[in-house]
Homo-oligomer: A and B are copies of this chain.
């Protein structure tokens, strides 16, 4: 079980703070946007005498609010198509465990959300990574390439759209290719759509909205990013495949229920509809632009401008990103400030890949994002002059 690349530098960051430094956290997708007041209001208004076990599927109010939300984006769902989970994390775990026996395989596109690794280890699933390339904007490879990785043990493909860590938004042609492969080989499509609203150019489509995929599409969703509710741990698994959902519900029963208060607050949030999304996306667009522009000033940096989510996967001109990221916290500071990055290798399953890449989460306001990247630029210069052997 590997340590999380997003969190393993935290002790070094804490030490840097203890020495009086400010640390810009570009390592973790923790937005600084205020959690909307409807959440707090509903939680504070909760009057039941006992915080009791809820239904294993989730509380009715919350599930119905999600039905309305999905209907508003033209995805009609039945009540039993939804099981509430403790964050997107549990949604991923339930989905993997529901379709795989130990030793079964899931195709995943590198780089990928690092915690898929952890859940795969927990559920005994073998992740089969297929490379995507920075030069192609991390879009999917050809159908032929993908099919060459399918084995008799392959049970599904995991996609993340918009993508964490690359920010890539899959286009319709890609999604239809995914559908064709799924139907041809009878595979599940596990689609992580946590960043659905975070699209800055073009459009995104849910796998739930793709004709023909009704029995194969599984969405793993979360309120964490959409409502800045990361610490609420509220997500869901969605599918129209009844057999699959029945197994998911049994996993849900084993762990009894998701937290009651958080569901009550979340129901109130989701019932608010889309009113929080537009200003939030405008804000993130500014942050993306600032981060991307500032990155361009680093000689030798390589990345394409991402269309979605709030991450940039950047190739940085350093030999060893792990060492550099640690050094930024342990040895570097400028005006008592430094930046924490998430090193690239943790987003790859293939050893040796990502060694010069870092994921930057642009979850601070635009001036802070600029300053954080400026610190990286200064750090690279100093690091390479100190460590250069020639």
**Taking beta carbons and an 8 Å cutoff, which residues of A are in contact with B?**
1-4, 7-8, 10, 28, 30-35, 39-40, 43-44, 46, 49-56, 86-87, 89-90, 93, 97, 102-103, 115, 117-119, 122-124, 228-233, 247, 250-251, 253-262
Judging by beta carbons under 8 Å apart, are B250 and A231 in contact?
no
Known contacts A50-B228, A261-B43; A122 and B1 CB within 8 A of each other = no
Among all A-B residue pairs, the 7 with the closest Cβ atoms:
A118-B254, A231-B260, A89-B255, A4-B253, A51-B231, A1-B250, A102-B102
Which of B119, B123, B231, B250 has a CB less than 8 Å from the CB of A4? B250
A261 to B263, CA, bound (A): 12
Question: A256's closest neighbor in chain B, by CB?
Answer: B89
26 A/B residue pairs, CB under 8 Å, sorted by A: A1-B247, A2-B250, A4-B56, A7-B56, A8-B253, A28-B53, A30-B50, A30-B52, A30-B53, A51-B228, A51-B232, A53-B230, A53-B231, A89-B255, A102-B102, A102-B103, A115-B255, A119-B254, A123-B124, A230-B256, A231-B257, A231-B259, A232-B260, A233-B257, A233-B258, A259-B262
| A232 with B256: CB separation less than 8 A | no
B251 and A122 form a contact (CB under 8 A): yes
Q: Tell me if B49 and A35 are in contact (CB < 8 A).
A: yes
Q: Which residue of B lies closest to A32 (CB)?
A: B50
Known pairs A50-B32, A124-B102; A86 contacts B233 (CB<8 A): yes
Contacts of A262 in B (CB 8 A): 259, 261-262
Contact of A233 among B8, B230, B259 (CB under 8 A): B259
Q: In the complex the two chains form, what is the Cα distance from A97 to B267 in whole Å?
A: 33
Residues of B with C-beta under 8 A to A231: 50-54, 257, 259-261
Residues on B with C-beta less than 8 A from A254 are: 1, 4, 89, 115, 117-119, 122
Residues from chain B with Cβ under 8 Å of A33 in the complex: 50
CB-based nearest B residue for A46: B40
Partner of A35, one of B51, B90, B255: B51
Q: How many copies does the complex hold?
A: 2
A1 nearest in chain B by CB position: B250
Report Cα–Cα, A33/B50, bound state, in Å. Answer: 7
Beyond A86-B86, A118-B250, A232-B259, 6 additional pairs, beta carbon < 8 A: A50-B230, A52-B231, A86-B255, A115-B256, A118-B255, A123-B123
Q: Which residues of B contact A34 (CB under 8 A)?
A: 49-50
Q: Provide the residues of chain B in CB contact with A31, threshold 8 Å.
A: 50
Alpha-carbon distance A102/B52, docked complex (angstroms):
34
In the complex, the chain B residue whose C-beta lies closest to that of A264 is B231
Q: How far is the CA of A29 from the CA of B97 in the complex (A)?
A: 27
Most buried by B among A31, A50, A102: A50
* Complex CA–CA separation, A229 to B51 (angstroms): 5
CA–CA, A55 to B364, complex, Å? Answer: 19
List chain B residues, Cβ under 8 A from A232. 51, 259-261
Closest B-chain residue to A114, C-beta based? B254
List the B residue with the shortest CB-CB distance to A115: B254
A363 to B232 CA separation, bound complex (whole angstroms): 29
Q: Which residues of B contact A119 (CB under 8 A)?
A: 254
Within the complex, the shortest CB–CB distance from A124 to chain B, in Å, comes to 4
Point out the residues of chain B lying under 8 angstroms from A115, CB to CB: 253-256
Instruction: For the complex, give the distance between the alpha carbons of A51 and B255 in Å.
Output: 23
In the assembled complex, how far is the CB of residue A365 from the closest CB belonging to chain B, in whole angstroms?
13
Question: Residue of B at shortest CB range from A40?
Answer: B46
- Contacts A4-B250, A250-B118, A251-B122; is A256 near B50 (CB within 8 Å)? no
